[in-house]
Structure 1
Amino acid sequence: MRFIVKRFTELSTDELYAILQLRSEVFVVEQDCVYQDIDYKDQKAFHVIGIKENAVVAYARIFDAGDYFELPSIGRILVKEDQRAFKYGHQLVQEAIFYIENHFKNTSILISAQTYLLKFYNNLGFVQQGEEYLEDGIPHIKMFKG
């Protein structure tokens, strides 16, 4: 697995297509959640792409402070279902954290996490902030790392 980080304008058409296909596969089909994934936030985001054997199998998008939340943030975190056994999710989030710390020069990060992943994010240094809420019909919690 290798990771690359690109701005929206640096993505090739094929990379963008693979990212959107994978996001749809995981968030719309697998999680059975109809929501508007194409939200015009991708243009502001940095895209963390996990590539294995020339295929996109992991992905996250990150934002600098003020571009989504008041703090830098990570979202749309996903790993292709048949690749999760390899623990690429941890590597993906660590890569995003590393990018934020080194390029945004900030160690504080805020995320909106699906509640069932609380322990996963706790293991990466995030702590719950506030109460659970629904986002697109799925229970979420705000989590902070700093």
Structure 2
Amino acid sequence: MNLIWIYKAFDELTTRELYAILQLRNEVFVVEQNCVYEDIDNKDLESFHLMAFEDDRLAAYCRVLPPGISYEETSIGRVITSPSYRGKGIGVTLLERAIEKAVIAFAAKCIKIGAQLYLKKFYEGFGFVQTSEVYLEDGIEHIEMLRIQ
């Protein structure tokens, strides 16, 4: 597998990249997880977008949000691996790269995320610790987690 990693501000995205991002987020977060919610939340406009492409297929994606957009701290969100690429370790590489980008771009000492509860152990593997009780967001159990450098 030959992945091309791309990291861009919103205004730098091509229309094809944006389409691929929205298509994958819709496929997984809306259809696969059977969750109707407003994915287009204006946070993309201020975020940086980390993408892994194989040819013209988006294999993995997340957004890195500056402090003050989702939380006081820098944040990582919309972490996603395409169903056809799961089980290949791409999600691990995606999160490693996202953390690195957050630290470099925003001198992040802390990174805060809102994680789906079932992914708690995955995020703990990167140093995130649970900082909230379980809460429902769009009908899915979530927790807030924090990673301190």
Do they fold alike, i.e. is TM over 0.5? yes
Counterparts of 1:135 and 1:126, CA distance in 2: 19
CA RMSD for the aligned pairs?
0.9
Shift of 1:24: 0.2
Q: Which residue of 2 aligns with 1:106?
A: 108
1:45 aligns with 2:54: no
Count of residue pairs brought into register by the alignment? 146
Instruction: Tell me the SS of whatever aligns to 2:109.
Output: coil
Q: Map 1:113-128 to 2 at 5 A.
A: 113-128=115-130
TM-score by length of 2: 0.95
Opposite residue 118 of structure 1, the aligned amino acid is: K
* Runs (4+) off by over 2 Å: none
Counterparts of 2:4 and 2:71, CA distance in 1: 28
| Superposed CA offset, 1:3-37 (max 9, x none) | 21111100001110000000000100110101111
Counterparts of 2:78 and 2:69, CA distance in 1: 15
| Superposed CA offset, 1:72-113 (max 9, x none) | 000000000121110111111111100011111113100000
Opposite residue 62 of structure 2, the aligned amino acid is: A
Q: Which residue of 2 aligns with 1:82?
A: 84
Q: Greater shift after overlay, 110-119 or 81-90?
A: 81-90
Q: Which runs of 5+ in 2 are unaligned?
A: none
Opposite residue 116 of structure 1, the aligned amino acid is: Y
Retained in 2: the 8 A contact 1:100–1:107? Answer: no
Shift of 1:39: 1.1
Q: Which residue of 2 aligns with 1:21?
A: 23
Identity %: 48
TM-score by length of 1: 0.97
